Amino acid sequence: MTDALVNWYNNSLGQFLPKEVFVFFVSMIPLVELRGGVIIAKLLGIKLFKANLICIIGNIIPIPFILLFIKQIFAFMKKHGILKGFVEWCERRAEKKSAGAEKGFFVFLLLFVGIPIPGTGAWMGSLISALYDFDIKKASLAIFLGIILAAVIMSIFSYGVLGLIF
């Protein structure tokens, strides 16, 4: 998928949009996020430090909006019948699972966001935090640290940092 995005960029937007801006926007996209952004930055020849800075900032930008507004968005969706059943299912599941979750939730959230496996990341971590009514300051810190952890892990795999250390 990342090769396809790089090819698409090179054949279309690459003539008009700096590669750093493209990587920034890729890092904001749900599911792709920083994980895809770091790989694409490497494929486009962006240096490691610059790539991480761009991807981290791009991945952080949507988080406050999700944490602050997802409940209002869900309320709007329910009121207007937009995926109402799905929204109600998410809310019921969050309520059911939230009992006692706050004790270890910070570490769970940090690792959930930070370990790059499919279905995890800052977007999903923010959604879970909002639905569980997790403290916004703690959630923001856990998500930020998770993004940093993801950047380190993705840098090791994408840029071969492990080879430079050993």
Question: Each residue of 58-67: pLDDT tens digit?
Answer: 999 999 999 9
What is the reported pTM? 0.84
Which residue shows structure tokens 């952890």? 149
pLDDT of residue 34: 95
pLDDT of residue 99: 55
Return mean pLDDT, the chain: 88
pLDDT above 80: residue 2: no
Nearest Cα residue to 67 out of 115, 134, 116: 134
For the chain, the first-to-last Cα distance in angstroms comes to 30
pLDDT of residue 162: 57
* Exposure string for 126-152, b = 16+ CB within 10 A, e = fewer: bbbbbbbebeeeebbebbbbbbbbbbe
As a whole number of angstroms, the distance between CA 103 and CA 96 comes to 15
As a whole number of angstroms, the distance between CA 131 and CA 106 comes to 15
Phi-psi sector, 81: left (phi>0), alpha (psi -120 to 50), beta:
left
pLDDT of residue 25: 95
SS3 content of the chain, % helix, strand, coil (to 5): 80, 0, 20
pLDDT above 70: residue 40: yes
pLDDT of residue 50: 96
Query: Do 74 and 90 meet the contact criterion of CB atoms below 8 Å apart?
Result: yes
pLDDT above 90: residue 142: yes
pLDDT in tens, 62-104: 999 999 999 899 999 999 999 898 888 877 766 665 555 567 8
Structure tokens at 47: 């240096």
pLDDT in tens, 6-38: 788 888 888 889 999 999 999 999 889 999 999
As a whole number of angstroms, the distance between CA 61 and CA 63 comes to 6
Query: Do 41 and 54 meet the contact criterion of CB atoms below 8 Å apart?
Result: yes
Q: Which residue has the higher pLDDT, 163 or 108?
A: 108
As a whole number of angstroms, the distance between CA 1 and CA 152 comes to 21
Give the Å distances, CA to CA, from 12 to 7, 8, 9, 45: 8, 6, 5, 18
